[in-house]
Amino acid sequence: MVEAAWAYLLNHPKLFRDALVTHLTLSASALAIATILAAPLGIILGRYPRAALVAINAANVARTVPSLAILAIMLPILGTGFLPSLVALTILAIPPILINTSVGIRQVDPDAVESALGMGMSRLQVMGKIEVPMALPVISAGVRTAGVQVVAGATLAAFIGGGGLGGFITSGIALMQLPLLLVWAVPIALLAIGTEILFHLLERTLTPRGMRPGSS
């Protein structure tokens, strides 16, 4: 079976490359848009505990909605294709980033903030030099979670014509061709694992040395 899958991949390199590029483009675009939207909102909500509680509860409810359901909701609104898939995956990625950003800002030591303000720093300077750097490990963890969810969820985009690697999985199931199924399922699993590892390394790189686990 593995030999048959490898032979199929060698015989259709452009097909695989185009599907992989679409999958990566869709995932990266959705994650980038979600981060741009959710991170600033999470920072703002972190300053208002009551509003943050409402937003976090709403985001947790949104996280319980299956990825396929979100994609299906896009059908009557935006139709099929890349755009509705992008919107659906962006919605899927927002909750973990919003929650972690808000929680990370709220966990910043108030004494550190008060000290910075007492030294004459503006609220914007405090946010950029104190709050965000201290909350960065938690924020990065949210982005990492969202990234893995988006890469995996992009597989289902094939159901609404979004392209990517998922379309060939559905074809493999429909045709009962296990080699075809294996060709596309394994790269998706590797992409999800690679995304987890990449963002873990990025998170460690961006985290101030003194705040890294195990640092003294």
CB atoms within 10 A of CB 186: 14
Handedness of CA 182, 184, 187, 191 (dihedral sign): negative
Q: What is the pLDDT of residue 36?
A: 94
The answer as to whether 125 is a domain residue is: yes
The answer as to whether 216 is a domain residue is: no
pLDDT digits (tens, 9 = 90+) for 1-57: 445 555 656 566 677 788 888 888 999 999 999 999 999 998 888 878 788 788 888
The answer as to whether 211 is a domain residue is: no
Judge whether residue 68 has pLDDT over 60: yes
The answer as to whether 187 is a domain residue is: yes
CA distance 206 to 64: 30
The answer as to whether 213 is a domain residue is: no
CA distance 212 to 205: 9
CA distances from 47 to 44, 99, 124, 146 (A): 6, 13, 13, 23
The answer as to whether 12 is a domain residue is: yes
The count of domains in the chain is 1
Tell me the pTM.
0.80
Its domain, for residue 79, covers 2-205
